[in-house]
Structure 1
Amino acid sequence: MLVTVILFLTILFLPRLIILAADKVPFLNTLGSVFLCYFIGLLLSFAFKAGGANISLAADFSSVLVCIAMPLILFSADLPALKKLARPMLTSFAMNCVAAVAVAAAAFFLFKSIVPEAQNISAMLVGSYVGGTPNMIAIGKSLSASNSQILLLQTADMIGGGTYFLLLLSLMPWLTRKLLPKYKPVGIAKSSDMAAETQRYTEEFSGRKQSIRPFSAFLSRAGLVGLTLLCFAVGAGLCLLLPSKYGNTGLAKLSEYTVVIMLVVTTGGIALSFVKKIRSAPGSYSTGLYFILMFAVVMGLSFDVSAIGQVLVLLAMELVIQYGTVALHLLMARLGKIDSDTMTITSCAGIFGPPFIIPVAKALRNDEVILPGILCGILGLVIGNYAGIGVGNLLGLFT
């Protein structure tokens, strides 16, 4: 019993220690807090298993963490601000989304004979390359992917994504400027309002340590968590009213309808983001990310080491989908006469999300694309779950 209590305290507080360490050590920051939570959770799993901790109880609790995280991440989505985006920016981001869905579907048919539950892999990568890591995890839990499968795919994505991010900072700006029209400045980067809005989003999506002082800031975040619990309660209540295909009753029905709960909490998060007081409350994204980090610790703790042999084939599938998405996006951008900087920043917004926009914009030497890129990344977080779950269920018809 005591070991299990220590296990849950580890899940609760380890992410905070990792965030603090990543803030101080550049190498750890490069690895990323999500990966570090996976890895340290995996290392600790051997000690907890030897001590008799109830890891299966923590694994069962993991879906709740993701359901709480998603509305918090979406509360800060300023969807009305999308009207500020120029048409080429929205068009290019739509091209990225279409490319991700098309290539992921093609990869499913290519790999389904050698990758178990390949439809889940395609679905999770659609969510990741339209939205981001939170979408990948949410879709995986919605489609009943195992924690081991999610962790292995996240590891493969970190390897593949790391190579593409290096290309975005080095070769991609040169390549896209050779193949696509030149970006035409519109003079928005120096606007004081635009600069203030960019700064707000930069702080919100930085992923760095954020203070919960003064006490009012803590109460604000507690209120946001209360709202997301309300979204979860609505989804869970709806599931309890639905008939079970397997004769489940009570709380056992919740795992059967995880996808319904995820769609309800996603929609609830989007709906509540239209309330200005909720949308402007500081810390919602970082609080949601903290729950994702707690989930990452649980995945590391419950990882099945015997599954590690699948990582190479998952890496191959991930690389095909990631670079296939980029290549198809680039082709569509050329046909649609999208300029080079717009294509590059929307590719970053889709594949990596808001936190990675600023380094890529600096590599482009174009501050004008920072805010539009962040807004596209936010849009991806909003639609990522719907796209990934839809693709997963559609491809599941062919298994």
Structure 2
Amino acid sequence: MNSLISPDETWLLWAFLVGWAAVSIYLEQRFKWASKLSGAIIALLGAMLLANLGILPVEAPVYDAVWSYVVPLSIPLLLFQTNIRRVWQESGRLLLIFLISTIGTMAGSILAFFLLKDLIPGLPHIAAMITGSYTGGGVNFAALASRFDVPGETVSSAVVADNFLMAIYFFVLITIPAIGFIRKRFGTPHMDEMERNADTSDTAAASYWKRKEISLSDIAMAVGASFVVVAVSFKLAEVFRGLIPEDGNTMTTILRAVVGDDYLMLTTLTLLIVSLVPKYFERINGAQEIGTFLIYIFFVVIGVPASIPLILQNAPLILVFAAIIVFINMIVSFSVGKLFKFDLEEIVLASNANIGGPTTAAAMAISRGWTKLVGPILIVGTLGYIIGNYIGTALGLWYSSLM
């Protein structure tokens, strides 16, 4: 699909990503309507619109750089002032609703497979990839595509459908807390706390992100520490992946997935360092603001791959398959969450972590100001990297036996 801006126009693409992220934040803090919609949705919709109008390319090295560098750097910045005790307290509840949401993904996959198995060629392997992806994010998608040796054309079609549904569902989930009818039926302690502390003369976003004292030293310490933590974490994960055999027994496979995962190592190491020297990080102002701005750049990138022409051309039935999984995941997550009195914020983030992975869930928590849930959802969400591969593999083999 040709676009007005070509994929190799690096500076133009960076200018759009960073510039539109800045505009989204400005609108969110300046206007009531934008605050209710949220800067994250404005960022996503703007990118989606320009991609579908043929102005932005659907794929580009710049987008890969955001996933590879911008997102990892944002995570330590956002965790530097995290209360480690609160993280462990919140992780238990989030883990339970995350696993319930995972059951929704599995149920949706099974239902979609039996409805569409005669209509989509190669569906067992496609189903394995999408089910794995909707249990913990795109990392599982790539692993399962390799596991089943799926043809490149099939992978490309499934990727388009997967990315489109993730972007649309992100939009739905981030809108749900703003719907009064839904909010009245769930506990919303994090939103209630934000509203109690908000200045009524400003939008909620502007009130939360008030101007604060910040020095050059703060910026240097925050950014410098983030680079070091990311570098050390990713190197440690790489070393463990090299030491632990990939094709060992079940225990070594699980161990490799845990200690060899980049994001799990990054989250764990950051929280460990913060717990060892809390006063050092408490004195650094601006880390949360810098990290949040980087996450808004990520929001823009999420909206880019949602190309409707590509969907209609390459993967309409695969899109239907993925949509069934997402819909059942949402129904199970919210129904069971309501039954067992989970907070609305917990349900939204757990379902997001299933469909999009821990990074999109953490990004949503940040954009909504649910900062106490950022660390917990990162920890819980990375569990999806481990169980997603097993679930996708098991269902893929079962589906294949039925064809």
Question: What's 1:390 paired with?
Answer: 386
- 2:308 aligned with 1:318: no
Q: Distance in 1 between matches of 2:219 and 2:170?
A: 32
What is the deviation of 1:306?
0.6
Question: What's 1:16 paired with?
Answer: 22
Question: What's 1:68 paired with?
Answer: 73
Q: Distance in 2 between matches of 1:263 and 1:298?
A: 22
Number of residue-to-residue matches in the alignment: 330
Letter in 2 for 1:5: W
Q: Distance in 2 between matches of 1:117 and 1:206?
A: 45
- 2:282 aligned with 1:276: no
RMSD, aligned α-carbons = 4.9
Q: Distance in 2 between matches of 1:291 and 1:142?
A: 27
Q: Are the structure 2 counterparts of residues 316 and 78 from structure 1 closer, same or farther at C-alpha, using a change threshold of 3 Å?
A: same
Deviations 1:101-122 (A, max 9, x none): 2222222322345688445555
Letter in 2 for 1:57: P
Deviations 1:101-150 (A, max 9, x none): 222222232234568844555555555xxxxxxxx577778878977455
Letter in 1 for 2:40: V
Note if contact 2:17-2:301 (Cα within 8 Å) is conserved in structure 1: yes
Secondary structure of the corresponding residue to residue 397 of structure 1: helix
What is the deviation of 1:61?
1.9
What does residue range 241-390 of structure 1 map to in structure 2 within 5 Å?
241=242, 260-274=261-275, 275-277=277-279, 279-280=281-282, 281-301=284-304, 303-304=306-307, 305-307=309-311, 309=316, 313-331=321-339, 333=340, 346-347=346-347, 350=350, 375=372, 378-386=375-383, 388-390=384-386
- 2:181 aligned with 1:170: yes
What does residue range 9-48 of structure 1 map to in structure 2 within 5 Å?
9-45=15-51, 46-47=54-55
Secondary structure of the corresponding residue to residue 68 of structure 2: helix
What is the deviation of 1:393?
0.7
Letter in 1 for 2:78: I
Q: Distance in 2 between matches of 1:354 and 1:295?
A: 11
What is the deviation of 1:349?
6.2
Q: Distance in 2 between matches of 1:223 and 1:271?
A: 17
Secondary structure of the corresponding residue to residue 103 of structure 1: helix
Q: Are the structure 2 counterparts of residues 28 and 328 from structure 1 closer, same or farther at C-alpha, using a change threshold of 3 Å?
A: same
Q: Distance in 1 between matches of 2:104 and 2:95?
A: 14
Deviations 1:177-223 (A, max 9, x none): 9xxxxxxxxxxxxxxxx99xx89xxx999885766844334224323
Question: What's 1:155 paired with?
Answer: 167
Q: Are the structure 2 counterparts of residues 302 and 384 from structure 1 closer, same or farther at C-alpha, using a change threshold of 3 Å?
A: closer
Deviations 1:34-74 (A, max 9, x none): 3333333344453355xxxx953223323313333333333
Q: Distance in 2 between matches of 1:291 and 1:138?
A: 21
Question: What's 1:182 paired with?
Answer: none
Identity of aligned residues (%): 14
Note if contact 1:59-1:299 (Cα within 8 Å) is conserved in structure 2: no
Q: TM-score scaled by structure 1?
A: 0.62
Letter in 2 for 1:290: F
Letter in 2 for 1:381: L
Q: Distance in 2 between matches of 1:61 and 1:143?
A: 23
Q: Distance in 1 between matches of 2:138 and 2:289?
A: 16
Letter in 2 for 1:97: F
What is the deviation of 1:374?
6.2
Q: Are the structure 2 counterparts of residues 7 and 321 from structure 1 closer, same or farther at C-alpha, using a change threshold of 3 Å?
A: same
Q: Are the structure 2 counterparts of residues 28 and 4 from structure 1 closer, same or farther at C-alpha, using a change threshold of 3 Å?
A: same
Q: Distance in 2 between matches of 1:285 and 1:123?
A: 31
Note if contact 1:96-1:329 (Cα within 8 Å) is conserved in structure 2: yes
What is the deviation of 1:385?
1.5
Q: Distance in 2 between matches of 1:261 and 1:307?
A: 31
What is the deviation of 1:173?
4.3
Note if contact 1:95-1:329 (Cα within 8 Å) is conserved in structure 2: no
Letter in 2 for 1:379: P
Q: Distance in 2 between matches of 1:126 and 1:347?
A: 15
Note if contact 1:23-1:209 (Cα within 8 Å) is conserved in structure 2: no
Q: TM-score scaled by structure 2?
A: 0.62
Q: Are the structure 2 counterparts of residues 389 and 237 from structure 1 closer, same or farther at C-alpha, using a change threshold of 3 Å?
A: closer
Q: Are the structure 2 counterparts of residues 236 and 126 from structure 1 closer, same or farther at C-alpha, using a change threshold of 3 Å?
A: closer
Q: Are the structure 2 counterparts of residues 102 and 74 from structure 1 closer, same or farther at C-alpha, using a change threshold of 3 Å?
A: farther
Deviations 1:273-332 (A, max 9, x none): 32314653444344333333323333444555412646555444222112212222344x
Deviations 1:151-182 (A, max 9, x none): 42333324542574356x435645x79xxxxx
Q: Distance in 2 between matches of 1:223 and 1:395?
A: 39
Note if contact 2:362-2:377 (Cα within 8 Å) is conserved in structure 1: no
Question: What's 2:201 paired with?
Answer: none
- 2:107 aligned with 1:106: yes
More displaced, 113-122 or 260-269? 113-122
Q: Distance in 2 between matches of 1:327 and 1:297?
A: 31
Letter in 2 for 1:152: F
